[in-house]
Amino acid sequence: MRLSWVFMLLPIIEIALFVIIGGEIGVLATLAWLFLAGIAGMALIRHQGAQAAMDLQQSLQQMRGTTTPMADRTLLMIAGVLLVVPGFFTDFLAGLC
């Protein structure tokens, strides 16, 4: 039940931020921000995915634990996904990651 509130509240927050920030910086700057954030998110996902595969292979070859490198890469990939999702609030959450 609580998770459904998050999915209902997220679009409302994003729309409110679009109106407020878009009114301050303008439509073109808002669209540019969203476009650049999406590109940055895709680049982050691509880089972290390749890096995670190399880390996993190296950890398995050296017979050491794989949880810490994979957890770090997973968090960065989540940040990349949040950057791809259009919105200022999700970009903020990606920055926290």
CB atoms within 10 A of CB 8: 9
- pLDDT reported for residue 66: 62
Of residues 88 and 56, the one with the higher pLDDT is 88
| Alpha-carbon distances, residue 40 vs 36, 54, 64, 76, 94 (angstroms) | 6, 21, 32, 12, 11
Give the total number of structural domains in the chain: 1
Of residues 55 and 75, the one with the higher pLDDT is 75
Domain that holds residue 22: 2-96
Q: Which amino acid is at 2?
A: R
In sequence order, the 6+-apart residues with CB closer than 8 A to the CB of 11 are none
In terms of Cβ atoms closer than 10 Å to its own Cβ (0-12, 13-18, 19+), residue 77 is buried
**pLDDT tens by residue, 69-79:** 677 788 888 89
